[in-house]
Amino acid sequence: MAHVTERIRLVVLYGGRSAEHEVSRVSGRYVAECARAAGLDVDLLGITRDGRWVPPPAVALEHGAADDALPALGDDLPTVSVDGALERRPGESPVVFPVLHGPFGEDGTVQGLCEMAGVPYVGPGVLSSAVCMDKPTSKSLLAAAGLPVARHMVLHGGDVSPETAADLLAELGSPVFVKPANMGSSIGVSKAAGVAEVAEALSLAAEYDERLIIEEFVPGREIEVSVLGNEELRASLPGEIVPGGEFYDYADKYLNDTAELHAPADLPAEVTDEVQDLAVAAARALHVEGLARVDFLYDEAASPGRRFIVSEINTMPGFTPISMYPRLWAVSGLDGPALIRELVHLALDRHHRRSAHTRTER
> Catalytic amino acids?
20, 185, 254, 293, 295, 312, 314, 318
H helical segments located in the chain: 21-37, 82-86, 109-117, 126-133, 135-144, 164-172, 195-206, 250-254, 269-285, 324-331, 336-355
Distance CA 160, CA 30 (A): 41
Beta carbons within 10 angstroms of residue 142's beta carbon? 22
Distance CA 129, CA 56 (A): 26
Whether 23 and 320 have beta carbons less than 8 Å apart is answered as yes
Residue 313's alpha-carbon distances to 105, 166, 206, 216, 337, in angstroms, are: 15, 29, 21, 18, 24
Beta carbons within 10 angstroms of residue 36's beta carbon? 17
Element (H, E) at 165: helix 164-172
Q: Report the half-sphere exposure of 9 (CA within 13 A, side-chain side).
A: 19
Whether 278 and 308 have beta carbons less than 8 Å apart is answered as yes
Distance CA 202, CA 157 (A): 8
In DSSP terms, 135 is beta-bridged to none
Which residues are CB-neighbours of 243 under 8 A, at least 6 positions away? Answer: 222, 249, 252, 258, 259
The 3-state DSSP class for residue 308 equals: strand
- C-alpha dihedral over 337, 338, 342, 348, to 10 degrees? 40
